[in-house]
Amino acid sequence: MPVDSHPIRILSQRLTIEPFCEQDAAESFACITPTLTRYMSWEPPASLEEYAQVWGRWLPAIADGSDIVFTIRERVGARFTGLVGLHHTGSETPELGIWVREDKHGLGLGGEAVRAVVQWASQWVVAKYFIYPVATQNRASRRIAEALGGVVIERRMAEKYDSVVYQIPGG
């Protein structure tokens, strides 16, 4: 059963996490770089117009609660920090994904955001567990999964990188 995404506001110690909206586009686009996306299945969009085609497809899924891309902002100052996804909410195994702007790497914000979304989602979706695909060489994201009690359940080979899929227990 999809989630009603309109009233969602997830708070953690340092972050506010809310569904992505058009007003988040320019700030998020400015943070998408080739080095940021080296461990992602996609490449940076070439322009704001190209990016609008991407996030424009997110909005209907966010509205119906089936696939939610959240904007992460710092609680103090509301500075854009990254995006966290909760995909396939109607599945028994919703998928998690995250990216954090490069100047905020190493501060534990990614783990804080994923933990907050897992805790929230555990109350709102019917999931046996969450899955979290991660590039094998992405040690930071692997540490997030492992800190959440994740265990590797699958290995995948892709054109851009090899990955592992973690099973993350509900919060």
Given this model, what pLDDT does residue 40 score?
A: 87
Other CB atoms closer than 10 Å to residue 117's CB: what's the count?
A: 25
Distance CA 23, CA 163 (A): 32
Structural domain count of the chain: 1
Q: Which domain range does residue 37 map to?
A: 10-128
Whether residue 48 lies inside any domain: the answer is yes
Whether residue 54 lies inside any domain: the answer is yes
pLDDT in tens, 59-69: 999 999 999 99
Sheet with strand 68-74: strands edge to edge = 10-11, 15-19, 68-74, 80-87, 95-100, 130-135, 162-168, 151-157
For residue 24, what is the DSSP state?
Answer: G
Residue 1 pLDDT class (50, 70, 90 cuts): very low
Whether residue 64 lies inside any domain: the answer is yes
Given this model, what pLDDT does residue 4 score?
A: 56
User: Helix (H, G, I), strand (E, B), or coil: what is residue 112?
Assistant: helix
If you average pLDDT over residues 144-157, what whole number do you get? 95
If you average pLDDT over residues 131-152, what whole number do you get? 96
Two tokens at 157?
């080979």
Residue 165, pLDDT > 60, answer yes
pLDDT in tens, 86-131: 999 999 999 999 999 999 999 999 999 999 999 999 998 889 999 9
- Which of 62-76, 87-101, 128-142, 157-171 is least confident? 157-171
pTM: 0.93
pLDDT in tens, 5-45: 558 999 999 999 999 999 999 999 999 999 999 988 889 99
Given this model, what pLDDT does residue 131 score?
A: 97
Given this model, what pLDDT does residue 160 score?
A: 84
Whether residue 153 lies inside any domain: the answer is no
Whether residue 41 lies inside any domain: the answer is yes
Residue 151 pLDDT class (50, 70, 90 cuts): very high
What CATH number did the domain enclosing 81 receive?
Answer: 3.40.630.30
Given this model, what pLDDT does residue 42 score?
A: 86
Whether residue 45 lies inside any domain: the answer is yes
Whether residue 163 lies inside any domain: the answer is no
Whether residue 136 lies inside any domain: the answer is no
